[in-house]
Amino acid sequence: MVYALNEFDVSGGTGSVSSEEIATYRTLSHLNERLATLDQWLPASDWADGAWKPFIPDALRLIVRDASGDQPDESGIANQLVPWPGASDPATFGSATTIDGSRCGVVSGEEAAAWNAALGTANELTRFVQDDVRYQVIARQLLPDEPPECPSLPS
């Protein structure tokens, strides 16, 4: 197992690190550098597909929880507040779940498009706000063969 790839300086003193481990580290670092720069050494025809289109789901499953009472996050990551993008009321969205007062529902059509746009700039700490209530939303794209519903959860 290799720890701290790109952090370990093999040019200086390596302490008790074995020569085999240093050689492995150098090999993995080189591989990492090559994989991170494919566009610089592989012809575009080998890795780019002009017909490629991003997957945009028709439906999203949302787990919604009132997060107004949550303590502020102190990680330094932006904790942005975004207006609730859907037409539905988050307080009554979907159905109640057995998870910590959360609700689960599925959005599709124009509402899914609005959510996709909002989630495109969101991070894990983003809270969606309606009527001064902050909601945490965990979204999952539904694949075409999945039913547009929330799974049954154990109680």
Residues 137 and 66 in one domain: yes
Percent of the chain with pLDDT over 90: 46
User: Which domain, by its residues, includes 100?
Assistant: 59-141
| Prediction pTM value | 0.67
pLDDT in tens, 2-51: 666 667 676 766 677 788 888 888 888 889 889 888 888 888 888 778 88
| Geometric angle at alpha carbon 86, from 80 and 90, rounded to 5° | 80
Tally of structural domains, the chain: 2
Tell me how crowded residue 138 is: count the other CB atoms within 10 A of its CB: 13
Q: 98-117: string of b/e by CB count within 10 Å (b at 16+)?
A: eeeebbbbbbeeebbbebbe
- Entry field: residues in the chain: 155
Residues 40 and 12 in one domain: yes
Q: Residue 8: inside a domain, yes or no?
A: yes
Handedness of CA 28, 29, 30, 34 (dihedral sign): positive
